[in-house]
Amino acid sequence: MLLQPSSGQMLLQPVWDLLRSRGALTQSPFFPVIFSITTYVSFCLPFVALDLLCPRVPALRRCKIQPDCAPSARQLLCCLGRTLYQHLVFVFPLTLLHWASGPAPLPAEAPALPQLLGHVALCLLLFDAEFFAWHVLHHRVPWLYRTFHKVHHQHAPSFALATQYLSAWELFSLGFFDTVNVALLRCHPLTVLVFHTLNIWLSVEDHSGYDFPWSTHRLVPFGWYGGVVHHDRHHSHFNYNFAPYFTHWDRLLGTLWHPHAN
Ligand SMILES: [Zn+2]
Ligand SMILES: [Zn+2]
């Protein structure tokens, strides 16, 4: 019996067909690294331009959380260099190993839209919980902080290109959480691509230093999402706001920053 595709599936099918037709690119061992770097740099570049404009545009200064701080050209190049180096030296060999173990055949059908959205939301919530636990541990244990996490706190206040200014262990841990969650949930490859893109955007927004009326934390109701303001305070107050995106873990464990915290 032939099953009729759902309307949600029909919506995504043309996108999925297009990606499948580019199989030589999307299944090459270079794709994950090229995709990750180009997406990350494309999301960072508008914020680099805003940082250049900020001193001359008062409306922009009003949206900057710490308006008197701007990254130097040396800091920007140093952060970009670290991202490129780590992708080349650490990420690429791992994706090459994964590719050599035999690429999984791509399914012919796109996922249904509700399934894609549900899986992306679950992946985000799982990633948020895992990184919260990792982050608390790497702040509470001095050796872990000094050895693995201190490097990320080198740039305070933070800026977009400082998002991936991480130790190799932190980069590996983030990549591990990402990969395990999509595998556990058996996400469709299109869902994986959407989740990775969203995750890169949200992490860049977290470090951008700009609180716009359309920033994600203003779009999610009831203060559920901390976003850029939440993470900016983590970079300046250290002992608060350990979750990267949502606020429930910090709220539950008493580590949510409040105005009287020091
Ligand atoms: Zn931290
Ligand atoms: Zn950070």
Going from the Cα of 50 to the center of ligand 1, the distance in angstroms, rounded, reads 25
- Position 185: which residue type? L
Going from the Cα of 15 to the center of ligand 1, the distance in angstroms, rounded, reads 37
Q: Supply φ then ψ for residue 33, to 5 degrees.
A: -70, -45
**d(C-alpha 187, C-alpha 232), whole Å:** 31
Q: How many CA atoms lie within 13 A of 154 on its CB side?
A: 18
Going from the Cα of 30 to the center of ligand 2, the distance in angstroms, rounded, reads 27
**d(C-alpha 159, C-alpha 7), whole Å:** 41
What is the sign, positive or negative, of the torsion defined by CA atoms of 73, 76, 79, 82? negative
**d(C-alpha 99, C-alpha 30), whole Å:** 9
> Which pTM does this prediction carry?
0.92
Going from the Cα of 262 to the center of ligand 1, the distance in angstroms, rounded, reads 16
Residue 22, pLDDT score: 85
Residue 5, pLDDT score: 60
Going from the Cα of 71 to the center of ligand 2, the distance in angstroms, rounded, reads 15
Going from the Cα of 3 to the center of ligand 1, the distance in angstroms, rounded, reads 49
- Position 58: which residue type? P
Going from the Cα of 153 to the center of ligand 2, the distance in angstroms, rounded, reads 7
Residue 7, pLDDT score: 61
Going from the Cα of 169 to the center of ligand 2, the distance in angstroms, rounded, reads 15
Q: Supply φ then ψ for residue 225, to 5 degrees.
A: -115, 125
Per residue in 67-126, pLDDT (tens digit) is 888 899 999 999 999 999 999 999 999 888 888 887 677 888 999 999 999 999 999 999
For the chain, the DSSP string reads -PPPPPHHHHHHHHHHHHHHHTHHHHTSTTHHHHHHHHHHHHHHHHHHHHHHHGGG-HHHHHHBSSTT----HHHHHHHHHHHHHHIIIIIHHHHHHHHHT-PPPPPSSPPPHHHHHHHHHHHHHHHHHHHHHHHHHHHHSHHHIIIIIGGGGGSSS--GGGTT---HHHHHHHHHHHHHHHHHTT--HHHHHHHHHHHHHHHHHHHH-B--TTSHHHHSGGG-B-HHHHHHHHHHHSSS--SSSBSHHHHHTT----TT--
Going from the Cα of 163 to the center of ligand 2, the distance in angstroms, rounded, reads 6
Ligand in nearest proximity to the CA of 204? 2
Residue 259, pLDDT score: 58
Going from the Cα of 238 to the center of ligand 1, the distance in angstroms, rounded, reads 6
Going from the Cα of 111 to the center of ligand 2, the distance in angstroms, rounded, reads 33
Walk along the chain (262 residues) in steps of 10 and give the mean pLDDT of each run.
59 90 84 94 97 92 91 94 95 87 82 95 98 97 97 91 96 93 94 96 97 96 95 91 97 85 53
Going from the Cα of 142 to the center of ligand 1, the distance in angstroms, rounded, reads 12
Going from the Cα of 108 to the center of ligand 1, the distance in angstroms, rounded, reads 42
Ligand in nearest proximity to the CA of 239? 1
Residue 183, pLDDT score: 92
Ligand in nearest proximity to the CA of 242? 1
Q: Are 149 and 169 in contact (CB under 8 A)?
A: no
Going from the Cα of 162 to the center of ligand 2, the distance in angstroms, rounded, reads 8
Going from the Cα of 139 to the center of ligand 2, the distance in angstroms, rounded, reads 12
Going from the Cα of 134 to the center of ligand 1, the distance in angstroms, rounded, reads 10
